[in-house]
Amino acid sequence: MLNSQMENIKSDNENSEESIFTSKGYGQSLENIPLKIRKEEIQTGELLLETISDDSYNSSISTLNNNLDTYSLEDTSVSVEDIYSTVDKYCNKYGVDKNLVLAIIKQESNFNPNAVSSAGAKGLMQIMDFNLESYGVNDPFDIDENIEAGVKHIKSYLDMYDGNVEMALMAYNAGPGTVQRRGVTSLNDLYKMPAETQNYVAKIMKQLK
């Protein structure tokens, strides 16, 4: 009898806990739970994009324009609105498509201003230290400094490749030296680039479309 009572108590507790989790949305499948960025588990935008659901990934840049709360930032002192307005400011200043820059940020850091890759790329636009230095960036995690440097960086590649977005993205991801060494002169040569770069370009272009 005692064992039976203990089993009933245990069952009641489990049912109670289950109802609490379900009421808070934790009983849903992982695909339906809003994405929360955790730096200690995910350090780069690339790794992050491989773990989110297809539905989350397929959200377009237009969704970002209409619903800026779609993205959850670990650094709550920085809002998505701040990032969006900063992108707008520097894209207007340097003549770069803001949707392209937003897509790069999505792919690089998933809007996490504190992201650091295993290679040492930092901030929203995942810029390496030598590029940060060349653009005079003092704080790579400052959204204003990082975004301005990133916009200037992608702009330099757009100018280098006469406005060819795919070529500019290859250079942004792998470096212009890699593009040159592998004999890449157009999108038709994308297959010559590392698999990471091929996926990078494809994902960003999918978002833009």
More confidently predicted of 20 and 180:
180
- pLDDT of 6 reads 47
Catalytic residue among 108, 145, 148, 166: 108
Q: 49 pLDDT exceeds 60?
A: no
The model's pTM: 0.65
- Tell me the pLDDT tens digit for each residue of 105-146: 999 999 999 999 999 999 999 999 999 999 999 999 999 999
Average pLDDT in the 30-52 region?
34
Q: 15 pLDDT exceeds 50?
A: no
**108 in active site:** yes
Q: What percent of the chain has pLDDT above 70?
A: 63
More confidently predicted of 50 and 82:
82
Q: 17 pLDDT exceeds 90?
A: no
3-class secondary structure for the chain? CHHHHHHHHHHHHHHHHHHHHHHCCCCCCHHHCCCCCCCCCCCCHHHHHHHCCHHHHCCCHHHHHHCHHHCCCCCCCCCHHHHHHHHHHHHHHHCCCHHHHHHHHHHHHCCCCCCECCCCCECCCCECHHHHHHCCCCCCCCHHHHHHHHHHHHHHHHHHCCCCHHHHHHHHHHCHHHHHHCCCCCHHHHHHCCHHHHHHHHHHHHHHC
Per-residue confidence band for 79, with pLDDT thresholds at 50, 70 and 90 = confident
- pLDDT of 24 reads 35
- pLDDT of 29 reads 35
- Tell me the pLDDT tens digit for each residue of 94-111: 999 999 999 999 999 999
Domain 35-208 listed as CATH 1.10.530.10: yes
Q: What percent of the chain has pLDDT above 90?
A: 62
Q: 72 pLDDT exceeds 90?
A: no
- pLDDT of 89 reads 98
- pLDDT of 209 reads 84
